[in-house]
Amino acid sequence: MAAIASTDIELADNSISTTDLPPDLSNNAIPIAATSASTPLDLTLPVKIKLSSAILCFFNAGLNDGSLGALLPYILRHYTLSPSQIAFCYLAAFLGWLVAALLNSYARLRIGDGGLIVAGAALQFVAQLFRFWSPPFGVFAVTFGVVALGQGTQEPSANTFVSGVKGSHRWLGAVHGCYALGGLCGPLIATAIASHGDWATFYYVPTGIGALNFALCGYAFRDQVVWGKVSGDQSAARQSRTALRELSATVKQKSVWKLSLFFFLYLGACITAGGWVVEFLVVVRDGHLASVGYVAAAFNGGTALGRFMLAEPTYRWGEKRMLTIHGVASVALELVFWLVPNIVVNAVMVCIMGFVLGPFFATGISVGSKIIPTELQASGLALIFVMAQAGGAGFPALTGIISGHIGVQALQPMLVALLSLMVISWLFVPNPRKLGSGSIAA
């Protein structure tokens, strides 16, 4: 993080003076990225290696997250669970992200952003070791919390790094496109394995990729891991006070909360759709499990394509305008999915819906890097991520609980409501192109 500027940083709906920011950050922060208020990082060889590590980090996360929708029917039947009981997996994931959000500011001062990235990769790898042997459901559910804790420590710092690279909007599109690419590969591989054998053997795949992710992160960010002390000598008590001041300054930012609400609804809609669409097609549309399992891959494949193809047009024609258009289109596509009882039509609508939702995440992060003060971006992104994961865990869990009482057809009105509220929430996010030139990248 860059040093605190001497002038006030003007935001769209609020301003913050340097007197409101944590005073220790300017002297003791560990620089992992050039952010929007400083010079972007050139694409040197070390930066390219770090970008490759970030890409693998998000591919690994996408593979893990995307596979659950395809495996969900098998998990329900293997453990003899009701739809409401699967909510424990989503609850564990939320708790993992919550712990990460609470500890990230302090942990960053102790081990640096590089340390967070490496530790997050290690946690995800360890969690996969407890999955491929079909453990008791309690153990299996807890692994979702450990994976989420790993993602919660790794992804905000990786995002902060990528947002500080020259041409960050393109790199963010590529990084998050690889998350969606992992989300495409996950259900394809999971369905192929589960339909011909033991569903749990799929987890050998993320175990291997997790090991590679851990190794590459350890190599790429080894120069930004600081064990036990930061760039200036501080006592543990002073580090704790610094972390608390940073968190306090972050939660006062209206822009952080507006983006958090948007991501809360966005990720809630996406994970609910990807997680429950296969069960919906099996139960409500009478689809064959071995065939409709690939529909989850269609959604994630559309998302991957959208992130790669729509990132540049969205940036050039205006983030605010383009995401509003994409959001309205997603609501229309979801209505067709709901009202037309045809599996082929449903699969096509799901794929196109994933496509138009594709650029949302990377664009939201890019906007956040322009409207959140530089000194608070790491903690701000961490808070945004935990709110996003709260939606990504809460709404699929709520869908499962409701489905346990009235049936999985509850998915459709849930998605219409989430997507509609998502569009409305985006309208309240400040437009970075209307901010003062001092607060955004040129």
Of how many residues is the chain composed? Answer: 442
In the prediction, which pLDDT does 219 show? Answer: 95
For the whole model, what pTM was predicted? 0.76
Please write the tens of the pLDDT for every residue from 35-73.
Answer: 444 577 778 898 999 999 999 999 999 999 889 888 999
Q: How high does pLDDT run on average in the chain?
A: 83
Q: CA 320, 347, 204 angle in degrees (round to 5)?
A: 95
The per-residue pLDDT for 22 is 41
Given this model, what pLDDT does residue 435 score? Answer: 64
**pLDDT (average), residues 366-387:** 81
Other C-beta atoms closer than 10 Å to the C-beta of 351 total 19
Cβ–Cβ contacts within 10 Å for residue 138, how many? 10
Q: Rounded CA gap, 6 and 365, in Å? A: 25
The predicted-structure confidence for 248-279, as pLDDT tens digits, reads as follows 788 888 899 999 999 999 999 999 998 899 98
Structure confidence by residue, pLDDT tens digits, 136-167:
999 999 999 999 999 988 988 888 888 888 87
Reported as a pLDDT band with limits 50, 70 and 90, residue 389 is confident
Model pLDDT, residue 1: 36
The 3-class secondary structure across the chain, one letter per residue, is CCCCCCCCEECCCCEECHHHCCCCHHHHCCCCCCCCCCCCECCCHHHHHHHHHHHHHHHHHHHHHHHHHHHHHHHHHHCCCCCCCCHHHHHHHHHHHHHHHHHHHHHHHHHHHHHHHHHHHHHHHHHHCCCCCCCCHHHHHHHHHHHHHHHHHHHHHHHHHHHCECCHHHHHHHHHHHHHHHHHHHHHHHHHHHCCCCHHHHHHHHHHHHHHHHHHHHHHCHHHCCCCCCCCCCCHHHHHHHHHHHHHHHHCCHHHHHHHHHHHHHHHHHHHHHHHHHHHHHHCCCCCHHHHCCHHHHHHHHHHHHHHHCHHHHHHHCHHHHHHHHHHHHHHHHHHHHHCCCHHHHHHHHHHHHHHHCCHHHHHHHHHHHHCCHHHHHHHHHHHHHHHHHHHHHHHHHHHHHHHHHCHHHHHHHHHHHHHHHHHHHHCCCCHHHCCHHHCCC
- In this prediction, residue 352 has a pLDDT band, given cuts at 50, 70 and 90, of very high
Q: Band the pLDDT of 404: cuts 50, 70, 90.
A: confident
Range scoring the smallest mean pLDDT among 52-56, 129-133, 395-399, 422-426: 395-399
Q: Tens of pLDDT along 178-208?
A: 888 898 899 899 999 998 889 999 999 999 9
